[in-house]
Structure 1
């Protein structure tokens, strides 16, 4: 089913970037929202896995929405032709992840709202187990499942909210034990065996209770790419809706396929979103210190880029693209 590209602006006041979720009487258990950009083959695999999983959950118990952000690879046409049971919103421009999600979320009529990346494949029982987990824990506002790589290897799928240590480790990677430690916002691999409260899950698989979303609003459209799930989960926590991890829902995540197509642009978008997130939720002192770390890290990354280019490990074009990205990040108003 092809839908037009509705705006959520009617659900907010002028100047606001967080639209409200219209209150409705839910018809379905689960509303799945996928935002796609240039991931045609992966999107098809994701939807095929969903078709099997949602039949397991129960025919008619779910709705699936795909919002395509003007992909030039024919993703929207693929959905329209091969997956007629999917509600399709085909944008004429790339509106960013948060705004595209909100286009679909605002039209859902489900008790629970599941954000999925197009580079995921859900295991047959994953959607049903996510619904069951929130049904059994009515005080929980949102949850994330167990993510694994394509070969089944462990993948970190939940994190603490950012600290200055995390800002530092992103730019000055030290020993792997530190990178995978609580100091860097990671949870121990052993903790993935049981449910527990977390800061936020990775946005590749995030289920939110509709009542909680009605209380805090939808995604902040001021985030074009990255950090929107951090912002949403932090608002949920502050409104009294805890966020949890559950091991009962496994999702294969191939990680970063859309952003990998434009690495330098994605890197700049990441730090633009982090700056917005820090300014929105953290103290001026934290923002100032984070800015000093980021600028020092960019200086170090530029030196490393020079070294890699001289060693022939980066082409001149790759090195130039990387330099532009780090110079632009340094120039942000930290």
Structure 2
């Protein structure tokens, strides 16, 4: 289990307590501290001696911290878990049982509820639209039993998701540096990018409703940083990962969506978050040469047809 952390001491204790309370204990729990200044390292060292602590001397941002955790992990199943999330006691056991009963599945998405409104969903697995916009299934919906069944989904949210090691090792070939996550994305959409690359190989994700997690949504993120990164990475991920036929046929919708976002931001230009989104969109355009170089690697490892991939878009969106 890999928990990236940057100045999350106020939540990290609750997160680790929930891991300690699991009915099935992980082989190892790795906290990757990304040069925190809030006492996170001391908190772990003094109170959680069973945690393997990796301390970065310099902040490298979220994707790099996750990759450091992947490199250090030893299990056959690797789990990403946010420092501002807490898992119900049977969460990990449900994931383990899913992999045992469904060996064809490559990753498992959790049932993630809002921490402070526990009858409201954050996500039950993610979807991806043909216009290049990702989303969380069920977000803001009240739980009325509509997501009580296990079902295949496009991918899992990086807040709490499990992968077979072998599939993560396979996607290293997509990145010039041989890492699992694309560090050029820095943060936000790095999980979307990973899900797309897994899908390009025909690999499947199952939503497991018994794998219950509570998430303090955007407690350690959000704001102008999220606006900038989403503004940039929505464009970069679509250009990099969508097969050529799908990209070309949906390019008008992708462009129209980005123009709509830009227009909405211009109407609220006094807000820092809107200026950040506009800058992100502009920086995505500047990054097109690098994105196209990365695209060649990604598309070279696609193993399914364009038609098969098209079936995954907006997969099980509700």
Q: TM-score, normalised to structure 1's length? A: 0.73
* Corresponding residue of 1:65: 30
* Corresponding residue of 2:40: 75
Change in CA separation of 1:288 and 1:87 when aligned onto 2, cut-off 3 Å: farther
Q: Distance in 1 between matches of 2:225 and 2:231?
A: 10
Once the two structures are TM-superposed, the CA of residue 144 in structure 1 deviates from its matched residue by 0.8
Cα deviation per residue 1:4-43 (whole Å; 9 max; x = unaligned)?
xxxxxxxxxxxxxxxxxxxxxxxxxxxx101112221111
Cα deviation per residue 1:215-260 (whole Å; 9 max; x = unaligned)?
2232222220111112222222222321110111111111111113
Q: Distance in 2 between matches of 1:63 and 1:137?
A: 23
Q: Distance in 1 between matches of 2:284 and 2:251?
A: 10
Written as runs of structure 1 = structure 2, the 5 A alignment for 1:1-334 is 32-53=1-22, 56-58=23-25, 62-150=27-115, 151-155=117-121, 156-164=123-131, 166=133, 191-217=146-172, 218-260=180-222, 263-282=223-242, 283=244, 285=248, 286-287=250-251, 289-303=253-267, 305=268, 319-334=270-285
Structure 2 segments unaligned to the other structure (5+ residues): 173-179, 286-318
Cα deviation per residue 1:106-138 (whole Å; 9 max; x = unaligned)?
121112111001111111111111111111111
Q: Distance in 1 between matches of 2:44 and 2:149?
A: 36
Q: Distance in 2 between matches of 1:294 and 1:70?
A: 34
Structure 1 segments unaligned to the other structure (5+ residues): 1-31, 171-178, 307-318
Q: Distance in 2 between matches of 1:180 and 1:100?
A: 26
Bigger Cα Rg: 1
Once the two structures are TM-superposed, the CA of residue 165 in structure 1 deviates from its matched residue by 8.0
Contact 1:268 1:329 in 2 (8 A): yes
Once the two structures are TM-superposed, the CA of residue 180 in structure 1 deviates from its matched residue by 7.4
Cα deviation per residue 1:243-286 (whole Å; 9 max; x = unaligned)?
110111111111111113xx112210122222221111124534
Q: Distance in 1 between matches of 2:51 and 2:232?
A: 33
Change in CA separation of 1:86 and 1:333 when aligned onto 2, cut-off 3 Å: closer
Contact 2:132 2:234 in 1 (8 A): no
SS of aligned partner of 1:237: helix
Q: Count how many residue pairs are aligned between Structure 1 and Structure 2.
A: 270
Contact 2:32 2:65 in 1 (8 A): yes
Q: Distance in 1 between matches of 2:190 and 2:196?
A: 10
Change in CA separation of 1:323 and 1:113 when aligned onto 2, cut-off 3 Å: closer
Change in CA separation of 1:165 and 1:68 when aligned onto 2, cut-off 3 Å: closer
Cα deviation per residue 1:44-101 (whole Å; 9 max; x = unaligned)?
1100111111xx215xx52000111222212122112221111111112221222111
SS of aligned partner of 1:103: helix
Tell me which stretches of 4 or more aligned residues in structure 1 moved more than 4 Å.
188-191
Q: Distance in 2 between matches of 1:86 and 1:77?
A: 12
Cα deviation per residue 1:140-178 (whole Å; 9 max; x = unaligned)?
0001111111231231231222332848xx9xxxxxxxx
Once the two structures are TM-superposed, the CA of residue 192 in structure 1 deviates from its matched residue by 1.4
RMSD of Structure 2 on Structure 1 (CA): 2.6
